[in-house]
Structure 1
Amino acid sequence: MSLGCVIGTFAGLGLQTILVGLLGALLVIWCFGSRKQTTSNLPPGPTGLPLLGYLPFLKLPPFKGFTHLTKQYGGLISLRLGTKLCVVLNDVDSVRQSLIKEADVFTDRNVPIEYSLALPLEGSLAFASGDKWRELRTFVAKSFRLFEVEKEKLESVIVRESERLCKAFHEEAVESSSGGDAFDPHHIIKNAVSNIICSLCFGQTYEYSDPEFKHILTVVGNSFRSLSPSGLLLVSRYFYYTPLYREVRHDLAVLQDFIRGIVQRHQETFDPDNTRDIIDMYLAEVRQLKEDGKETYLKEENIWRGVFDIFLAASESMTSALRWILLYLIAYPELQRKIRADILRVIGPSRNPTIKDRDELPLVEATCMEVLRLRPPAPMGGPRQVKRDVKVKGYVIPEGTLVLTNLWHIHQNAENWQDPERFNPSRFLNEDGKELVKNPAFLPYGAGRRLCIGDRIARMQMFLFLTTLIRRFEFSLPDGDVPDFNVDGGNFTLSAVPFKIIAREVESNMAPTAVHTQIED
Structure 2
Amino acid sequence: MVTEFLLFALVFVFLHLAFKKPSRLPPGIWGLPILGKLPDTSTSLAEQVKKLRPIYGDIITWRMGSRVNVFLCNYEVIKRAMAKLELSDRPDFHTYSVFSSGSMLGIVFSNGALWQKNRRFALRQLRDLGMGKTCLEEVMQREAGYLVQDFKKHTGKEQPLPLSLGVAILNVVWKMIADMRYEMDDPRGQEAIELVVSGHESLQGPVFLFDLFPWLLKVAPPFLKKKLGYDKLQRWMERKLDKVSEVLKDHKDTLDPSHPRDLIDQYLIAMDHTKGEATDAPYTELDLLTMIIDLLDAGTETTLSTVRWAILYLAKYPEVQARVQKEIDQEVPRNSFLFYNERNKLPYLEAVIHEVHRIASVVPLALSHAASADIMLDGYLIPKGTVVVPHLEFCHKDSQIWEQPNEFNPDHFLNPDGSFNNRKEGFLPFGTGRRACVGESLTKVEIFVLLTALLQNFTFSPPQGETLKTEREPYPTIISAPKPYRVVIEERQSVKREK
Fold equivalence (TM over 0.5): yes
Are the aligned partners of 1:289 and 1:295 in contact in 2 as well (CA < 8 Å)? no
Let me know the Cα RMSD of the aligned residues. 2.5
Hey, what does 2:406 align to over in structure 1? Answer: 421
1:115-514 to structure 2, matched below 5 A, reads 115-117=96-98, 119-121=101-103, 123-148=105-130, 153-173=135-155, 177=156, 182-227=158-203, 231-233=208-210, 234-235=212-213, 236-237=216-217, 241-245=225-229, 246-290=231-275, 297-301=281-285, 302-488=287-473, 489-509=475-495
Whole-angstrom distance in 1 between the partners of 2:205 and 2:63: 11
Whole-angstrom distance in 1 between the partners of 2:47 and 2:278: 48
Query: TM-score, normalising length from structure 2?
Result: 0.88
Mean alpha-carbon deviation: is it higher for 38-47 or for 360-369? Answer: 38-47
Residue 449 of structure 2 aligns to which amino acid in structure 1? L
Whole-angstrom distance in 1 between the partners of 2:329 and 2:133: 30
Whole-angstrom distance in 1 between the partners of 2:198 and 2:321: 31
Hey, what does 1:105 align to over in structure 2? Answer: 86
Tell me by how many angstroms 1:480 deviates: 1.1
Are the aligned partners of 1:111 and 1:383 in contact in 2 as well (CA < 8 Å)? no
Residue 361 of structure 2 aligns to which amino acid in structure 1? P
Tell me by how many angstroms 1:290 deviates: 4.1
Query: TM-score, normalising length from structure 1?
Result: 0.85
Mean alpha-carbon deviation: is it higher for 293-302 or for 220-229? Answer: 293-302
Tell me by how many angstroms 1:414 deviates: 0.5
Tell me by how many angstroms 1:152 deviates: 8.0
Are the aligned partners of 2:39 and 2:64 in contact in 1 as well (CA < 8 Å)? no
**Other structure's SS at 1:213 match:** helix
Hey, what does 2:67 align to over in structure 1? Answer: 84
**Other structure's SS at 2:130 match:** helix
**Other structure's SS at 1:443 match:** coil
Question: 1:206-248: CA deviations, max 9, x gaps?
Answer: 1233334323322321211233698322233355733332322
Are the aligned partners of 2:270 and 2:283 in contact in 1 as well (CA < 8 Å)? no
Whole-angstrom distance in 1 between the partners of 2:94 and 2:489: 42
Are the aligned partners of 2:182 and 2:188 in contact in 1 as well (CA < 8 Å)? no
Whole-angstrom distance in 2 between the partners of 1:310 and 1:414: 34
Residue 105 of structure 1 aligns to which amino acid in structure 2? E
Hey, what does 2:6 align to over in structure 1? Answer: none
Question: 1:101-148: CA deviations, max 9, x gaps?
Answer: xx2111111254223146233531001112221111111111111122
Consecutive unaligned residues of structure 2, counting only runs of 5 or more, are 1-13
Tell me by how many angstroms 1:194 deviates: 1.1
- What is the number of equivalent residue pairs in this alignment? 470
Whole-angstrom distance in 1 between the partners of 2:92 and 2:304: 23
Residue 446 of structure 2 aligns to which amino acid in structure 1? Q
Whole-angstrom distance in 2 between the partners of 1:150 and 1:372: 20
Whole-angstrom distance in 2 between the partners of 1:229 and 1:499: 23
Tell me by how many angstroms 1:352 deviates: 2.5
Whole-angstrom distance in 1 between the partners of 2:133 and 2:382: 45
Question: 1:358-398: CA deviations, max 9, x gaps?
Answer: 12112111111111111122111121111100110110011
**Other structure's SS at 1:478 match:** coil
Residue 237 of structure 1 aligns to which amino acid in structure 2? L
Percent identity, please: 27
Mean alpha-carbon deviation: is it higher for 233-242 or for 421-430? Answer: 233-242
Tell me by how many angstroms 1:149 deviates: 6.8
Whole-angstrom distance in 2 between the partners of 1:56 and 1:98: 24
Tell me by how many angstroms 1:506 deviates: 1.1
**Other structure's SS at 2:200 match:** helix
**Other structure's SS at 2:50 match:** helix
Consecutive unaligned residues of structure 1, counting only runs of 5 or more, are 1-30, 512-521
Are the aligned partners of 2:131 and 2:442 in contact in 1 as well (CA < 8 Å)? no
Question: 1:268-304: CA deviations, max 9, x gaps?
Answer: 111112211111111122323449x685724132211
Question: 1:455-475: CA deviations, max 9, x gaps?
Answer: 000000110000000000011
Hey, what does 2:26 align to over in structure 1? Answer: 43
Are the aligned partners of 1:322 and 1:462 in contact in 2 as well (CA < 8 Å)? yes
**Other structure's SS at 2:69 match:** strand
Hey, what does 2:8 align to over in structure 1? Answer: none
**Other structure's SS at 2:480 match:** coil
Tell me by how many angstroms 1:324 deviates: 0.3
Whole-angstrom distance in 1 between the partners of 2:335 and 2:351: 24
Runs of at least 4 residues off by over 4 Å: 56-59, 149-152, 293-296
Tell me: CA distance 1:446–1:151, structure 2 relative to 1, closer, same or farther (3 Å): closer
Are the aligned partners of 2:161 and 2:486 in contact in 1 as well (CA < 8 Å)? no
Are the aligned partners of 1:445 and 1:455 in contact in 2 as well (CA < 8 Å)? yes
Mean alpha-carbon deviation: is it higher for 467-476 or for 376-385? Answer: 376-385
Tell me: CA distance 1:149–1:117, structure 2 relative to 1, closer, same or farther (3 Å): closer
Whole-angstrom distance in 1 between the partners of 2:455 and 2:37: 45
Tell me by how many angstroms 1:193 deviates: 1.1
Residue 88 of structure 2 aligns to which amino acid in structure 1? T
Whole-angstrom distance in 1 between the partners of 2:93 and 2:467: 36
Residue 113 of structure 1 aligns to which amino acid in structure 2? H
Hey, what does 1:15 align to over in structure 2? Answer: none
Whole-angstrom distance in 2 between the partners of 1:49 and 1:478: 50
Are the aligned partners of 1:200 and 1:277 in contact in 2 as well (CA < 8 Å)? yes
Whole-angstrom distance in 2 between the partners of 1:112 and 1:344: 49
**Other structure's SS at 1:446 match:** coil
